[in-house]
Amino acid sequence: MNSKYIFSLLFLFCITIPSKSQQNAPSVEQSKAMLDAQYQKDWAEIDKRPLPAWFNKAKFGIFVVWGPYSVPSYAPVGPNGYAEWYWARLKNEDPDIVKFHERVYGDTKVEDLIHDFTADFFNAEDWCNLFAESGAKYVVTTANYHDGFAMYPTGYAETESTKNWNSVELGPKRDVIGELNKAGNKMGLKMGIYFSLYEWYHPLWLSDKDKFVTDHFHPKLKEVVNRYEPWSIFFDGDWGMSGKRWRNNELAKWLYYDSPVKDKVVVNDRWGSSRGINGDVFESEYGYGKWTSPHHPWQEDRGIGQSYGYNRSEDIHDYNSADELIEQLCLVTAGGGNFLLCVGPTADGRIPVIMQERLLQMGNWLKTNGNAIYDAKANPFWPRTFDWGTITTKEDTLFMHVFNPETAEIILDGFAGKVTSAKLQGINGNSKVKFKQNKDAISLSWDFKNNQNDVSVIKLVTEGTCSYDTIQRQYKNGDLFLTARAFNYSNPNIKPMYGGFRDRMKVIGWKNAKDSAYTDIIITQPGTYKVSVSYMATNKKQTGSEIIIELANKSLYHTTVLCKENKDYIFEPKTLGEVQFNKPGKYSVRITGKPNGTWNEFGLQSFKLQKVGDKK
């Protein structure tokens, strides 16, 4: 036999027989399972890291959303009318944006508008001085938005058609993050950054997302962290891929174990498929603190108007008043959260005067009432809410935040404990509040002329152990409202989950119709009431569940239907029927599935009672 032929056979034989290491190599499925297990193990360990103490003490921060989008500074006014999304909406041929762009800029490309992003009036010290005067303790500035524009010098910044896409080589020709850090540090502000995971038009994002993660996103973030050492990182743009594909566990381990900010940095929950699951702080975007819980640190972020970036189409009526913003600060603090209020500077570097005014008004209020906000703890009655305002606490002190300047009397029932003093805080000093206690309530009265024009704070000093009844009472108008967080659940796998945006909260894990949600309520005004619930059912697979609400010896039935957000991002409540309360007292509410009925889970959001005949 030909020797060359024999050699060829031997060679083929050797390469086709797997080696011992190859024989023991895991399969694709096994490798995936191992990676999944490591991912879960990493996050289980990461989530044990304690929250740096500074964050919950600070309570109030300023969010700065500023970049090339501040040139067109346009979006149709309304919920989610975010001017900073201008480029993406133009690319997606949003008719309002296209019409505006053609009228104002003709055929000019968005990238070419960068020449009008001049920052002529940008003065970092003036900005930070304003933020300090507002009473804010920390600042978060857009270092890298979804457009990929870096507000600092970096080689990790480009689009399909533009290189050196950063603020030092284009537009302002300045290191915005560096200048703000220097000024903020001088004034004792804790300076942080906003950083988008994905970038709309980066070549790698459009061609090879996995390479984008390893060769662009991770090194770009590490560069900015190493250089500026932020106290906080506001992640966003996480919805493009899963957390595993973002390799967020690897990034988190570097941030928390090896980075220069490992002991101080606070990061939100937008790591990729992790909202309400992983993160130091759960983010709430225009959620108003309605759907969150004090059981995990969280942060409410919103603009003064309805956009984060400056929107030239907003007018005075689109901006919240100082009273409204102060009320939100109080409600967020009482819910155990922090309030991150956004300003949107103009392309030439000015913070609009109306925004400056709002910040200074909040600062003036905090000079008198900061003791009820900074380092304050949540409402001890939570999840119970009040129609007159809310409550925060500190050690032996309750702070009652009264929203209506004409209010001069409050009865706080469900409170048992000794009160030693009650004072109404004021600009010119404290004034007397009369109080009278019985076994489970305290009544307070004062001269309403001593109230502040926005929110007044009554300081109650207690002694010894106090108890707080968390059962929800009716408001004076007869209404009673509960979110899904006010219920108990028969199965520990059923729990409320908030998506971090507007009203996107629902109960998850309700897989068995025999399980139930239950709680107690207290009726103070007998009569006939309409019963309604809101829930999320955004596709047909989530519809058809036959639910029962048992209340006041009556069962009300409902079959869930398709229930999507309306134009205001609200899930419209569904009316189930009416119940009659014949006398005041405690009643039980129970929600469950119909025996032998259809069940496709139930994404409960809220429950409401409303007086029959009330048109609200």
Annotate 260-296 with three-state secondary structure.
CCCCCCEEECCCCCCCCCCCCEEEEECCCCCCCCCCC
Comparing C-alpha atoms, which of 91, 225, 86 is closest to residue 145? Answer: 86
Average pLDDT over residues 300-313: 98
Q: Which residue has the higher pLDDT, 477 or 20?
A: 477
* DSSP SS3 for 401: strand
Pairing of strands 441-445, 434-438: antiparallel
Average pLDDT over residues 327-352: 98
Is the pLDDT at 23 greater than 70? The verdict is no
* Phi, psi for 579 (deg, rounded to 5): -130, 155
Task: Note the pLDDT of residue 418.
Answer: 96
Structural domains of the chain ordered from first start: 59-372 (3.20.20.80), 389-470 (2.60.40.1180), 480-611 (2.60.120.260)
CA distance 503 to 79: 12
User: Residue 517 forms beta bridges with which residues?
Assistant: 489, 591
Q: What is the pTM of this model?
A: 0.94
Is the pLDDT at 597 greater than 70? The verdict is yes
Task: Note the pLDDT of residue 496.
Answer: 97
Task: Note the pLDDT of residue 567.
Answer: 85
Is the pLDDT at 18 greater than 90? The verdict is no
Average pLDDT over residues 430-456: 95
Q: Report the 10 Å Cβ neighbour count for 149.
A: 26
Average pLDDT over residues 51-78: 98
Is the pLDDT at 481 greater than 70? The verdict is yes
Q: Report the 10 Å Cβ neighbour count for 390.
A: 24
Residue owning tokens 């090339």: 68
Pairing of strands 337-343, 60-64: parallel
Task: Note the pLDDT of residue 7.
Answer: 47
* Phi, psi for 497 (deg, rounded to 5): -135, 125
Residue owning tokens 């990790």: 156
Residue owning tokens 């041929």: 93
CA distance 439 to 414: 9
pLDDT above 70 as % of the chain? 96
Q: Which helix (H) or strand (E) holds 224?
A: helix 218-228
CA distance 99 to 132: 40
Residue 340 CB partners (closer than 8 Å, separation 6+) = 61, 62, 63, 140, 234, 299, 300, 301, 302
CA distance 484 to 135: 33
Please, are residues 568 and 79 in contact by the beta-carbon 8 Å criterion?
yes
Task: Note the pLDDT of residue 28.
Answer: 76
Model pLDDT for residues 255-288, shown as the tens digit of each residue: 999 999 999 999 999 999 899 999 999 999 999 9
Model confidence band, residue 613 (pLDDT cutoffs 50, 70, 90): confident
CA distance 174 to 179: 8
Average pLDDT over residues 341-349: 98
Rounded alpha-carbon distances, angstroms, from residue 60 to 134, 225, 340, 381: 9, 23, 6, 22
Is the pLDDT at 24 greater than 90? The verdict is no
